[in-house]
Amino acid sequence: MAWNVFKFCSALRGLGFVMLLLVLGVVGVTYYAVVLTNYGPELVHHGGGLTDVLVALGILFLFHALLVMLLWSYFSVVFTDPGSVPPNWKPTLDEEVGEASALNPSELSRLQSDPSNQRIRVCRKCNQFKPPRSHHCSICRRCVLKMDHHCVWVVNCVGALNYKSFLLFLFYTFLETTLVTLALLPKFILFFTDRDIRINPGSLAVTVVAFVLDLAFALSILGFLIMHISLVTANTTTIEAYEKKTSQKWCYDLGRRKNFEQVFGTDKLYWFIPAYSQEDKARMPSLQGLEYPLRPDFDSNAS
């Protein structure tokens, strides 16, 4: 009898909560190293002159501003539903297939074996129709609209409704970790060059740990961020990047501008915050994939 490994995927939920605590732990260590150990005291005691005070003030301002955006984006990903298929959702009319409301999920084998019905998809596990670009998550045990992947770091799937927040989380995390790395670099160098360094051993250890952690996160997130930027410009998810044939034009590619707007919205004032304007919220059904036509060769100029 075949062993179905996917039935154990739900155990990853517990790992996700551990990862959430790990993220908060890294934030706490970094905050202690930057604010309480190094640049906070410099700002308070004025030990290095006006220039050092201004540098400390600038670093602390940028650090707190990026930290607010980072945490806002992070918890938006955690607590925002990535997009669920509405109950009893069915495909729209298709002139070749007829009225989709007359179709039954039990006819899955017939529908999927017919080449003309490629865009009519039924989830075997949920036993219901699912829109184009949606996938079933074995961890969340449901279908997710425009699913990109399940991320244990956010204890949630990344899909149509929280993909923007996820990208902003990556963006602000990269900026924050880069800032911390550059800010702590002089302290890190001082640790190896000054034998008479005057600092509490515990504080020095936290500074070194924070520098190494943030440097590692900055380098790893940079590659991840570049990958997702390329996916956004092509209107592709991580799952679709492995499924589609690279020799054919991707049918959902609307051009870089419209591909970007599908994720970030059309209002420029909302591009850098994990929220949408009222106008973009009204367009959510199309962004989720609920209004995509059944045929894959749809008009690429449609919004």
Closest CA to 159 of 83, 225, 236: 83
* Distance between CA atoms of residues 129 and 62, nearest Å: 47
Residue 56 in contact with residue 43, Cβ under 8 Å? yes
> Which is catalytic among the residues 123, 151, 157, 251?
151
Catalytic residue at 157?
no
Closest CA to 64 of 187, 217, 179: 179
Count of other CB atoms within 10 angstroms of residue 248: 8
Task: Concatenate the DSSP letters of all residues of 122-166 into one string.
Answer: EETTTTEEE-TT-EEETTTTEEETT--EEETTTTEEE-TTTHHHH
Count of other CB atoms within 10 angstroms of residue 130: 21
Which residues are known to be catalytic?
A: 151
